[in-house]
Structure 1
Amino acid sequence: MSHIAETPAPPYYAVVFTSHRTDGDHGYAEMADKMVELAAQQPGFLGIESARDDVGITVSYWADLESIKLWKANAEHLKAQKLGHEKWYSTFKTRICKVERDYGM
């Protein structure tokens, strides 16, 4: 992804996922693309931004906590989470934040 998400006026929520990958792809890139497409179809999804160097950072934006909860429980997303634990990540952290103010140019 090479764009900045266009989010509505706050408040809304951000899910910040930071990770260290294991060596090799093992189907990661294909699944990551699939998850972005699937997330975009979910109620309450507002956008996503991602960057990867040594540490990967993906921030997805959501209208409310219920939308985040439903995305976490999505059957396809659950499969991806399981593969992430087993194959793709040596470590990761998920943080859920309420965005109360934003600004930019």
Structure 2
Amino acid sequence: MLAQTPEPPYYAVIFTSVRTEESEGYADTADRMVELAAEQPGFLGVESARNDLGITVSYWASLEAIRSWKHHAEHTLARQQGRDTWYQCYKTRICLVERDYSFECRPD
């Protein structure tokens, strides 16, 4: 499902990763992070895909909302677990979305 974002401007955090072979606890933690992020002020939505490369894009109302999420205690612990166990490498990019447009999903 595509995230339902407001009219720009807003921010996108693009998290691109390569996983290790270790998977124990990963799915539960990933689900919890999405659940927890959705509770944060300024969270607008999230989209994620994984194959050999994982890409998760979360959308935020402000840079302050992104900073608050980065420093959330449970998210900090999950990031450390990711570095220690689940990720070979990752990169985070923060972007200002100035314009968006879409082709709406067709009804089933």
- Matches of 2:89 and 2:79, distance apart in 1: 13
1:95 paired residue number: 93
How many residues are treated as equivalent by the alignment? 103
Task: Verify the 8 A CA contact 2:10 2:59 in the aligned structure 1.
Answer: yes
2:58 paired residue number: 60
Note the aligned Cα RMSD (angstroms).
0.5
Where does structure 1 differ by over 2 angstroms across 4 or more consecutive aligned residues?
none
1:74 paired residue number: 72
TM value normalised by structure 1: 0.97
Q: Deviations over 1:65-98 (max 9, x none)?
A: 0000000000000000000110000010000000
Task: Verify the 8 A CA contact 1:26 1:87 in the aligned structure 2.
Answer: no
1:38 paired residue number: 36
* Unaligned residue ranges in structure 2 (runs of 5+): 104-108
Identity %: 64
Radius of gyration: which is bigger?
2
- Matches of 1:24 and 1:69, distance apart in 2: 28
- Corresponding letter in the other structure for 2:17: S
- Matches of 1:54 and 1:78, distance apart in 2: 25
